[in-house]
Amino acid sequence: MTIYILRRLAYAILILLGVSFITYLLLYLIPADPARQLAGRSATPETIANIRAQLGLDLPFYQQYFQYLMNLLQGDLGRSYIQRTEVSALIGSRLSASSQLLVWGIGFELLIGISLGVLAALKRNTALDRGLMAFSFVGVSSPHFIASMLFLYLFAVHLEWFPLGGYGTTHHILLPAITLGILGSGWYSRMVRSSMIEALQQDFIRTAHSKGLTRVRVIFRHVLPNAIIPVIPMVGIDIGIFIGGLVVVESVFGWPGLGQLAWQAIQRVDIPVIVGVTMVSAVVIVLANLIADLLVPLVDPRINLEKS
Amino acid sequence: MTLKTRKSLFTSAIASLMFAAYVQAAEPKNGGDIIVTYQNDVATLDPAIGYDWQNWSMIKSLFDGLMDYDPGTTELRLDLAESYKLSEDGKTYTFKLRPGVKFHNGREMKAADVKYSLERTSNPNTKSPGAGFFSPIVGYDAVSQGETTELEGVKVVDDYTVSIELTAPNATFLHVMGLNFASIVPKEEVEKYGEDFGKNPVGTGAYELTDWTLGQKLVFEKNPEYFRSGVPYIDTITFEVGQEPLVALQRLERDEVDIAGDGIPPAKYLQFKNDPRFQDLMVTGDQLHTGYLTLNVTMPPLDNLKVRKAINMAINKDRIVRIINGRATPANQPLPPAMPGYDSDYEGYKFDPEGAKALLAEAGFADGFETELFVMNTDPQPRIAQAMQQDLANIGITANIKSLAQANVIAAGGVQDQAPMVWSGGMAWIADFPDPSNFWGPILGCDGAVPGGWNWAWYCNEELDAKGAKADAMAAADQQEARSELWGEVFTQAMADAPWVPIFNEQRVTVHSKRMGGEDALYVDPVHVPVNYDYIWVK
């Protein structure tokens, strides 16, 4: 197990290096000049050149990237070009909000996804099954921006069940979390449905039924624990997609998290912040996948990570 | 007393009461807390650095400079300066400071602070986007080149007197002293916070910052020691950031928000304008803005004057104004109507597609040609570009639209042979200060026609530059009328060369809650953009 973890951590470092390189390269290639942006419209070419030199933007790409990596190793993510403050401070101030929304959102995804998946499997090939699967299809294919605005209008403006965006209480987190939950639940409901159908056909389920166990007991004690195993690594993979959704949902709901920070930074071409948020997101995704993979053998002893 | 008399008295009494109530309502009231929302987090509150329409008036409320403007107008007035004198040669301004003005940290502001502040902004290490405005001051070049940190032309005469020597008489200098970049800051606080001064601003302004929770809110509290008596009226202003503009408007309707700082998204303007719930809450005002299409005079075939004139005649500006739901007036010259020097008799190029076709044929392009039109990629700019594209297609010109992020369009415009045409919407030009010179140098003058510059037409007419310089040297009060006329000539003569197609002068819209008081002009202040927080009040 230790070797497996060490190997995965080594891969993680390589992945993070790759992410940092690609992000840095893409932003380097954008035909926007941060020095010019900082210098403002009244600046002379000399002032712009001076700022470019101060920021090291006149250096070749490999030198800039190497310098960035060196700073990164010391925990220095640089300073925002727009907000002129430490990127680590900006990210730090928003981590808590995003973490809360991540936990609640994934929680709702699982709750809605697993419930609908179980229901669809039990009512296989009925109108309800087809309806639920259509719902999950619509959910995963809906644009986050439109769905968020729609939910906000319906539940906050029209029905007034929730506050109109904002941050601070459980009441504030519910609507963005439910929105994320509904939009992302489709992946889980489809997966749970098929693994439930597969589990329902297993011999041990027939045995459980023949032992005289009630249907509810068979489903919750025997079918669901088996059907739910693929959901755990799925959560690891889903984190990446989920963070992509956070960028839009946080912006619409006024949720002061990393997604909103990323959205503002992209709009203003604030390169250090874009790279910083990308790196932090990459770390979260890599760690989430590692944790999810480590959890699977704990839930299902038949799976041996070392051999796999 | 007859019934009629009684009725009449009763009516008069009601009318008097209503008038009294109106007068009472129109009288500014002290106190109250308000909430202002913005979508983006505030970039910085460092006056040497902040340069966007969101933080501009926030900084004005936290800091003061030597000069300012009468609330809601473009009229200069004294601010931290009690008086000033201009030397006979027109090159030296001597400012007398108000005694007893205190920074938020309790220390008295003195002449040394003025010198320090101007030198800090000029210093290239500060990376101030406004440093270039101080180039008329003697010694600026040495500071900007890093040879020294002291501006030779700025001298502390005594604690309350400072003199500023310019390299040449400059009629715009008092406006420059009214810019945020010339705000007075206390050295000890700047040194204490270093690069984080923008998050911990300390000035002499009407408000002081008491809380800034990154990504969530900023709280401004009334400065009880403010040197102007009676203002500000409001006790606390909370700026909530991260609010989607449409959500902010919904919250405003529910009285949860007092000012929706981002206004109304362009696509929703008409809907809100026609919604009776918002009609009394919307304030519309002119701003010192012109939106224009640049025609790169160095790139063939736009280097041909007849082609540029034909394009000027081909664009239907009325239709473009309709695209933005009438929130602008069509323009025929670079200067906006509210700017001194605007020539109301100038007719410009009339919309005449047939005439444009004929002119194009005369220029040797009877079959038209293919070119590119660069535009910022946020609504409504691409829609405006499409309208221009159709107009150009009508005279045979195929304009391929390049819709890019703001920074990329600016970068393309700053490369001489890259962008044949740029629609300035969302980027340029709103005047930094209400003076025609600010509409010339960076965007039409030779100084701006350099790599990385803002003169995207790459138009350089040295004769007109010289005329502009002559106008700017007319600093004496009795020369101002002649100066405005001279500037007017510069712009109309430039239009003879047709480096731009002036499209429209856009208006600004602010939405506020029912309980907000104060003249409309304060909510669309042309200088304290977007809202003059020091003078508005709660009913």
Taking only the tens place, the pLDDT of each residue in B312-322 is 999 999 999 99
* Residue A224 reports pLDDT greater than 50: yes
Q: Which two tokens stand for residue B106?
A: 């309790």
Nearest-by-Cβ selection for B129 from A30, A40, A166: A40
Interface of B with A in 117-136 (CB under 8 A): 124-125, 127-133, 135
In angstroms, what separates the C-alpha of B476 from chain A's closest C-alpha?
25
A144 touches chain B (CB under 8 A): no
* Closest alpha carbon to B261 in B509, B528, B455: B509
Cβ separation of B411 and A33 shorter than 8 Å? yes
Average pLDDT, chain B: 92
Q: Which helix (H) or strand (E) holds A265?
A: helix A258-267
Q: Which helix (H) or strand (E) holds A52?
A: helix A45-54
Number of CB atoms found within 10 A of residue A14's CB: 10
Interface of B with A in 418-457 (CB under 8 A): 428, 432, 442, 447, 450-454
B414 touches chain A (CB under 8 A): yes
pLDDT digits (tens, 9 = 90+) for B88-104: 999 999 999 999 999 99
Cβ separation of A36 and B132 shorter than 8 Å? no
What integer is the mean pLDDT of B367-388? 95
A149 touches chain B (CB under 8 A): yes
Query: In chain A, what residues touch B251 (CB-CB under 8 Å)?
Result: 164-165
Task: Quickly state the pLDDT bin for B292 (edges 50, 70, 90).
Answer: very high
* A250: closest chain B residue by CA: B242
In angstroms, what separates the C-alpha of A84 from chain B's closest C-alpha?
7
A88 touches chain B (CB under 8 A): no
Query: In chain A, what residues touch B445 (CB-CB under 8 Å)?
Result: none
Q: What SS3 string covers A12-48?
A: HHHHHHHHHHHHHHHHHHCCCCHHHHHHCCCCCHHHH
CA distances from A52 to A39, A48, A219, B51, B52 (A): 9, 6, 65, 19, 21
In angstroms, what separates the C-alpha of A256 from chain B's closest C-alpha?
5
pLDDT digits (tens, 9 = 90+) for A12-53: 999 999 999 999 998 888 877 788 877 877 777 777 888 888
Cβ separation of B146 and A269 shorter than 8 Å? no
What integer is the mean pLDDT of B401-414? 90
pLDDT of residue A305: 64
User: What b/e string do you get for B305-343 counting C-beta neighbours within 10 Å, with b at 16 or more?
Assistant: bbbbbbbbbbbbbeebbebbbebbebbbbbbbebbbbbb
Nearest-by-Cβ selection for B144 from A46, A149, A255: A46
In angstroms, what separates the C-alpha of A99 from chain B's closest C-alpha?
15
In angstroms, what separates the C-alpha of A52 from chain B's closest C-alpha?
10
What integer is the mean pLDDT of A218-246? 89
Residues whose CB falls within 8 Å of the CB of residue B224, separated by 6 or more in sequence, listed in order: none
Query: In chain B, what residues touch A41 (CB-CB under 8 Å)?
Result: 129, 428, 442, 454
Nearest-by-Cβ selection for B408 from A31, A48, A256: A31
Q: Annotate B188-213 with DSSP letters as a single string.
A: HHHHHHGGGGGGS---SSSEEEEEEE
Beta strand B259-260 with B33-38: parallel, antiparallel or unpaired? parallel
In angstroms, what separates the C-alpha of A214 from chain B's closest C-alpha?
50
- Per the CB < 8 A criterion, the answer to whether A274 and A262 are in contact is yes
pLDDT of residue B4: 44
User: What b/e string do you get for B437-460 counting C-beta neighbours within 10 Å, with b at 16 or more?
Assistant: bbbbbbbbbbbbbbebbbbbbbbb
In angstroms, what separates the C-alpha of A82 from chain B's closest C-alpha?
6
Interface of A with B in 234-253 (CB under 8 A): 250-253
* Residue B416 reports pLDDT greater than 90: yes
A-B contacts (CB, under 8 Å): 144
* Closest alpha carbon to B120 in B27, B53, B182: B182
In angstroms, what separates the C-alpha of A143 from chain B's closest C-alpha?
17
pLDDT digits (tens, 9 = 90+) for A103-152: 999 999 999 999 999 999 999 999 999 999 999 999 889 999 999 999 99
Distance of CA A51 to the CA centre of its chain: 36
Cβ separation of A32 and B215 shorter than 8 Å? no
Q: Which two tokens stand for residue B384?
A: 């405006």
Strand residues in B287-435 grouped as ranges (E): 291-295, 328-330, 370-376, 398-404, 421-423
pLDDT digits (tens, 9 = 90+) for B110-157: 999 999 999 999 998 998 989 989 999 999 999 988 899 999 999 999
pLDDT of residue B22: 43
B382 touches chain A (CB under 8 A): no
What integer is the mean pLDDT of A202-231? 87
Interface of A with B in 13-32 (CB under 8 A): 30-32
Measured distance CA(B488)–CA(B504) in Å, rounded: 18
Select from A82, A84, A153 the residue whose CB has the most chain B CBs within 10 Å, as the one to mutate to test that interface.
Answer: A84
Strand partners, B402: B374
Nearest-by-Cβ selection for A164 from B199, B213, B251: B251
Cβ separation of B132 and A33 shorter than 8 Å? no
Measured distance CA(A214)–CA(A222) in Å, rounded: 11
Measured distance CA(B308)–CA(B360) in Å, rounded: 9
Cβ separation of B240 and A50 shorter than 8 Å? no
Cβ separation of B127 and A31 shorter than 8 Å? no
Exposed, middle or buried by CB within 10 Å (0-12, 13-18, 19+), for A61? exposed
Distance of CA A204 to the CA centre of its chain: 36
Task: Quickly state the pLDDT bin for A306 (edges 50, 70, 90).
Answer: low
Query: In chain A, what residues touch B408 (CB-CB under 8 Å)?
Result: 30-32
Angle between helices A87-122 and A258-267 (to 10 degrees): 120
Query: In chain B, what residues touch A249 (CB-CB under 8 Å)?
Result: none
A255 touches chain B (CB under 8 A): yes
Query: In chain A, what residues touch B129 (CB-CB under 8 Å)?
Result: 38-43
Cβ separation of B40 and A267 shorter than 8 Å? yes
Interface of B with A in 162-201 (CB under 8 A): 195-196, 198-199
Task: Quickly state the pLDDT bin for B266 (edges 50, 70, 90).
Answer: confident
Measured distance CA(A120)–CA(A137) in Å, rounded: 13
Beta strand B398-404 with B370-376: parallel, antiparallel or unpaired? parallel
Interface of A with B in 40-59 (CB under 8 A): 40-48, 50-51, 54
In angstroms, what separates the C-alpha of A40 from chain B's closest C-alpha?
4
- Per the CB < 8 A criterion, the answer to whether B512 and B258 are in contact is yes
Nearest-by-Cβ selection for B250 from A157, A253, A267: A157
In percent, how much of chain B has pLDDT > 90? 80
In angstroms, what separates the C-alpha of A102 from chain B's closest C-alpha?
17
A194 touches chain B (CB under 8 A): no
Cβ separation of B124 and A94 shorter than 8 Å? no
* B427: closest chain A residue by CA: A41
Query: In chain A, what residues touch B447 (CB-CB under 8 Å)?
Result: 44
* B199: closest chain A residue by CA: A85
pLDDT of residue B5: 44
pLDDT digits (tens, 9 = 90+) for B12-24: 444 444 444 444 4
Q: Which two tokens stand for residue A153?
A: 């209008």
Q: Which two tokens stand for residue A293?
A: 């993979």
pLDDT digits (tens, 9 = 90+) for B14-73: 444 444 444 444 789 999 999 999 998 999 999 999 988 899 999 999 999 999 999 999
* A149: closest chain B residue by CA: B247
Rounded to 5, what percent of chain A is helix, strand, coil?
75, 0, 20
* Residue B378 reports pLDDT greater than 90: no
